[in-house]
Amino acid sequence: MSDVSAQPTTEADPADPTTLARYTTLRLGGPAGRLETAASAEEIVQKVQAAQRRDEPVLILAGGSNVVIGDAGFPGTVVLVRSRGLTVVAEDAGTVTVRVEAGEPWDDLVATTVASGWSGLECLSGVPGSTGATPIQNVGAYGQEVAETITGVQVYDRSDGSVGRIDAADCGFAYRGSIFKYSDRWVVLSVDFRLERSPISGPVRYAELARALGVEVGDRVPLADARATVLRLRAGKGMVLDAADPDTWSVGSFFTNPVLERSAYELLRERAADLGEPPSWFGAGDVVKVSAAWLIDKAGFAKGHPGPEGVAISSKHTLALTNRCGDASTAALVELAREIRDAVHDRFGVTLHPEPVLINCTI
């Protein structure tokens, strides 16, 4: 899959600082104060250091698939990450470790690993954006998370101007989070993944995927079958980028599934007693993850629910907020998100939190 989420820059089509909308999957975002393109890790560091010398704020933008940029844009330097490639840095009879440049389109990487017979990323097929973004929010889908295969992240540390490596154990990986997500200290340059040498997937953990594959949870299937089935499931939910499908003009899931303490979960069950049992998953430490999509739907926001200026909930998935008309404003999208969040809280007493990073805007 090509990196359609953020348009490439060439001599014939140079970076355009007048709008950041062309570099995000939402097709939203105002102008940049300055727009720079970096084609390598070295250039990323150079561009960031130059902005620091000018005392300008810096925004790192690659695939643009997990960011909401305000209509006023970003007043400092935006660095478009366009580094590419992967290198095998270690291997043995059972595993291979690859170092992947931050700008490598994620699904291109997954396709390469599947074709190479390397298991560990196949259920993350179709996730838009760049490889460098995956550790930031610990990307996960269909029972896999990148935290399971990442061994380290190469970074530029803005605080002391050094380039180094952060081992996976020090990345603070959590549900859709890490030490990188809400900090501008580190710039991801590349990511190391240790993958199993196997033509067979890891154990299928996600019930929906198991049903679609016709297997039991815990079974393993050929890598190509896992990838094809995940892509089909994601496409059915508008979660595979398609320039012709406005339902994919989004950041994917706009809200994370709430993780509640057991007492808060029991209160939710009481408030939802007339609607049936909320879909939920029990985790370690007596916490419960609840379906945000269910909460949104039961609060009165069905698929396709319209918002102002042509924004809307996707017609395929309740969690995706879309710029359906293609020329809406970020303010309109934020207004819809705020309306959903407040309605869910009023009905169920649960606060939804956005999954994407919000730049110069807030709900």
Decide if 86-236 and 246-359 have a common fold.
Answer: no
Alpha carbon distance 288, 222 (integer Å):
32
d(CA 133, CA 268): 33
Distance CA 45, CA 47 (A): 6
CA count, 13 A, side-chain hemisphere, 253: 19
Burial class of residue 177, CB neighbours in 10 A (0-12, 13-18, 19+): middle
Task: Compute the CA torsion angle 153, 154, 157, 163 (nearest 10 deg).
Answer: 160
Give 92's contacts (C-beta < 8 A, 6+ positions apart). none
| Residue of 178, 253, 314, 324 with catalytic role | 253
45/51 Cα distance (integer angstroms): 10
- Burial per residue of 66-105, b for 16 or more beta-carbon CB atoms within 10 angstroms, e otherwise: bbbbbbebbebbbbbbbbbebeeeeeeeebbbbbbbbbbb
Contact 81, 106 (CB under 8 A): no
* More confident position, 6 or 41: 41
Catalytic, 43? Answer: no
Catalytic-role residue among 27, 82, 176, 324:
176
Residue 15 has pLDDT above 80, yes or no: no
pLDDT at residue 83 is higher than 60? yes
Q: Hey, which CATH number is domain 86-236, 3.40.50.2300, 2.10.10.100, 3.90.79.10, 3.30.465.10?
A: 3.30.465.10
Alpha-carbon distances of 352 from 30, 257, 320, rounded to whole Å = 26, 8, 13
Instruction: Provide the CATH number for the domain formed by 21-81 in this structure.
Output: 3.30.43.10
Distance CA(127)–CA(88), nearest Å, equals: 23
Q: How many Cα atoms within 13 Å fall on the side-chain side of residue 80?
A: 23
What tens digit of pLDDT does each residue of 169-195 get? 999 999 889 999 888 899 999 999 999
Q: For residue 12, give every residue at least 6 positions away whose Cβ sits within 8 Å of its Cβ, in sequence order, or none.
A: none
Catalytic, 205? Answer no
Whether 185 is a known active-site residue: answer: no
> The whole model's pTM is what?
0.90
Question: What's the whole-number mean pLDDT along residues 351-357?
Answer: 95
Question: Quick one: pLDDT at residue 2?
Answer: 29
Give pLDDT, residue 278: 95
Pick from 352, 348, 322, 324: nearest CA to 340: 352
The pLDDT tens digits for 226-280 are: 999 999 999 999 999 888 899 999 999 999 999 999 999 999 999 999 999 999 9
Q: What is 246-359's CATH number, 3.40.50.720, 3.30.565.10, 3.90.180.10, 3.90.78.10?
A: 3.90.78.10
| Residue ranges of domains in the chain | 21-81, 86-236, 246-359
| 201 close to 220: Cβ distance less than 8 angstroms | yes
